[in-house]
Amino acid sequence: MANHKSALKRIRQNEVRKVRNRYYHKTARTAMKVLRNEDDKAAAAEQLPKVISLLDKLAKKNIIHKNKAANLKSKLTKHVNKLA
């Protein structure tokens, strides 16, 4: 266990950030899953900008790497464009 006040504070801060980051990450994963399971092209095209925005926010906050965000956005866009 930490002995310094600053180390105890750091532990508290890390826990809060971990929970918050996990929530953002899980929300984005759920949004991507919903988009991938969408069969209607119009509905998928409507959801795509919202999911891309979520991924950009995650990358900006360093929750996911910027290249991972770019790869996911590319795959989702291809998926939406391939829908009939």
What's 47's domain CATH number? 1.20.58.110
Distance set, CA 61 to CA 26, 34, 48, 51, 76 (Å): 15, 23, 20, 16, 21
Q: Is residue 67 pLDDT above 90, yes or no?
A: yes
Q: The tokens of 20 are what?
A: 């918050």
Give how many domains the chain has, as a whole number. 1
For the chain, give the mean pLDDT: 95
Residue 21 identity (one-letter amino acid)? N
pLDDT 10s digits, 13-39: 999 999 999 999 999 999 999 999 999
Domain of 24 in residue numbering reads as 5-82
Which pLDDT score is estimated for 3?
86
Distance set, CA 7 to CA 10, 45, 70 (Å): 5, 47, 36
Which pLDDT score is estimated for 34?
97
Confirm whether pTM is higher than 0.75: yes
